[in-house]
Amino acid sequence: MKLRWLWWLVPLYFIGLVVYAPASLLQWLLPAGSGISLSNLTGTLWQGQGSVTVVLAPQRSLQLEQVSWRLHPSALLRGQAALDVTIPAHNVLSGHLTTGLTVGGTAELNGRLSGQLDTAIRTFNLPVPLTMAGDWQLVIDNYHVDDLNQGRWCNQLAGKLTTTATQTRVNQRWLDLGDYATALSCTANQEISATLNADNSLGLSFNGLVAGTFQAPEVKLQGKLQPHVRTPREVTDVLIFLGEPDSRGAYPFSLTLK
């Protein structure tokens, strides 16, 4: 009789190991080359909290604190880690993401992130010549990478980066610049493409590419500013510092970041 009860305890023991598996095991589910590392993990594999570091460049990374997750057990039966991730508002960016990762390196992602424009410019050391303020929101409807181990940026992408209530400060005065919507997609070369049309108060348009690999990213941007009747006069006056306008009155620009 005692031996029979012992055999019943064995599966219960293993079930307990799975249910209360520590959060540290989540690190083993991250594919090599993802550029993501975890620390200060608490809770269980299925639901917990920790710090996330995302490598953006060889000497630049993004640190997120108190990020919480919920892992879907049913996805593990398909060899996939399906996570609901929540990033609280005290970080540089916040929001909710749903992601799927496989041992083979396939990744899927969708969700919404948001933050403050001035904070993002400082954190990512963006080459913006003017003092800016406003809100930004990134909506990712479909992001897919076939193999993270290759380090390429995407195989599918549909998304939009929007800035609202955008302002700039000129001569100690804040000027309203309106809203801007940049469409995000994936090129045939597995690069992230960003496109902004000129239907805004600055006449700002550009085409950008995030090229290279996760380990060696390269950002290319080409565009122009073409002031018009809706452009604040104070902004038009400072554009002369960008150089001479072309024959149509536009100020072209280009940059490459590595």
Q: What tens digit of pLDDT does each residue of 165-199 get? A: 999 998 888 999 999 999 999 999 999 999 999 99
DSSP helix/strand/coil, 244 = coil
In whole angstroms, what separates CA 153 from the centre of its chain?
Answer: 12
Answer whether residue 57 shows pLDDT above 90. Answer: no
Tell me which of 29-38, 43-52, 114-123 is least confident: 29-38
Which pLDDT score is estimated for 76? 66
pTM of the predicted model as reported, rounded to 2 decimal places: 0.83
Which pLDDT band holds residue 10 (cuts at 50, 70, 90)? very low
> In terms of DSSP H, where are the helices of 20-115?
73-76
Q: What are phi and psi of 146, to 5 degrees?
A: -70, -35
